[in-house]
Every structure is written in C-alpha cells, then in structure tokens.
Structure 1
Amino acid sequence: MSNNSEILEALANVIESRIGGDAEKSYVAKLFTKGRKKIAQKVGEEAVELCIAAADNDKDEAVSESADLIFHMMVLWADMGIKPEDIYNELASREGLSGIEEKKSRGDN
C-alpha cells in the first residue's frame, strides 16, 4: 500500500465485508451481531486503554492501543454507515480554523 489513506480504505473494506458474516469465524462479524451499543463500548474501552498508556508514558503501548482504537472506531463507523471519506471531508472542512473557532461553530463553549 502506498499511503496511509489506502491502508484505512482497505481496512474499511474488510470491516464492511464482515457485516452479516459468520460470528464464529470473524471477530468483526461477532461485534456486529452484538450491536452498536457493544461496539461503542469497545471504542470507549480502547480509548481508556490509550489514555492509560499515555499517562504511563508507554509509547509502544500507546501505539498498540491507538491501532486498536482506530480499528474499533472503524467498526462503529461501518455499523453507522460512515465511510472514511466522510471523516476526511469533515477534517478538510476544518482546515485553517483554529480549534477555538471550530468549537464555536459547533456551539461547544
């Protein structure tokens, strides 16, 4: 794979291909059968594990947990019909905005 977005696109395709798959043979298919609430819970667990690794100043563990978080987040996206390009487009729309301006545009004060 030549660039990072291609890695994410390939992963998104694999995840989507597991929708409706055999939960006995695929972890992703098993997550889909458990439903969005369980998938969201896994995203939260991975986020907490990343935060713990960061607080412990454990770079290797932070890298590993970051990959887990991105993976589970992408499973959640697939369950919600969100494509990586939806996220890319949102990020692109924020380019050039300060974080303070962007938060104000969403009403987050």
Structure 2
Amino acid sequence: MNKGNIIKELYKIIESRKENSIENSYTTYLFEKGLDKVLKKVGEECSEVIIASKNNDKIEMVNEISDLVYHLLVLMAVQGVKIEDVEEELIKRTEKIGNKKPERNVKNT
C-alpha cells in the first residue's frame, strides 16, 4: 500500500468490501449490520480517542484515532460520501481567514 495515500487506499478497500463481500471480513460484517452498527462504532471510537487523550497516552491515542478514521471511512462508504467530497470541503476551509466565531457569553441561571 502507498503510504502517501493510505486513507484513499483504505477507502477503496472499504468500498470494494461493500460491493464484494468477503467471508470473515470485519468491514463486510459492518456493511451487513448496517448504519446503526457503524454509527455505534464511530461513537465508541470517538469516546476512546477522548479517553486516550485525557490520559495523555500517545500510543493509545494513535491506535484509537486510527480506529476512528477507519470507522469514519466505513460510515462515508455507507452514506455515499467520497474522499473527494471531504477533500473539497477541507480545501474551501483553508481559504477562509479571519472567520473565528466570537466566544459565547454563557451566564449561569
């Protein structure tokens, strides 16, 4: 696999599992279980990234971020979102300058 494009390569593999099921494939399992299962996994992995970050455990953070990215790619494939869609949005965002939103003034009631 090409290190420079690992996310695109992984997404291609995920999409291929969507089209061509492979026995004992975790990705195929997620597609078979459907959107609710994928969303549950995204939520779990997100929480695990937060915990690893709070614990200041870099190795665990890298592992959990990798899990989260993988599950986000599966979610994208389930919902028909392409890598290029995200790339285009990120490019738009890099062009924005000085668009920081003001902080909220929250009062205790």
The residue that corresponds to 2:53 in the other structure is 54
Q: Which runs of 4+ in 1 moved over 4 A?
A: none
C-alpha separation in 1, matches of 2:47 and 2:100: 25
- TM-score, scaled relative to structure 1: 0.83
> Are residues 1:100 and 2:100 paired?
yes
CA deviation string 1:10-57 (max 9, x = no partner): 1011000101504x4210000001111110110110000000000001
TM-score (norm 2): 0.83
Task: Provide structure 1 residue ranges, at least 5 long, that are not aligned to the other structure.
Answer: 102-109
The residue that corresponds to 2:12 in the other structure is: 13
In structure 2, what residue type is equivalent to 1:100? K
Largest Rg, 1 or 2: 2
Query: Could you tell me which residue of structure 2 aligns to residue 104 of structure 1?
Result: none
Q: How large is the Cα RMSD of the aligned pairs? A: 1.5
The count of residues paired between Structure 1 and Structure 2 equals 98
Q: Give the partner amino acid of 1:25.
A: N
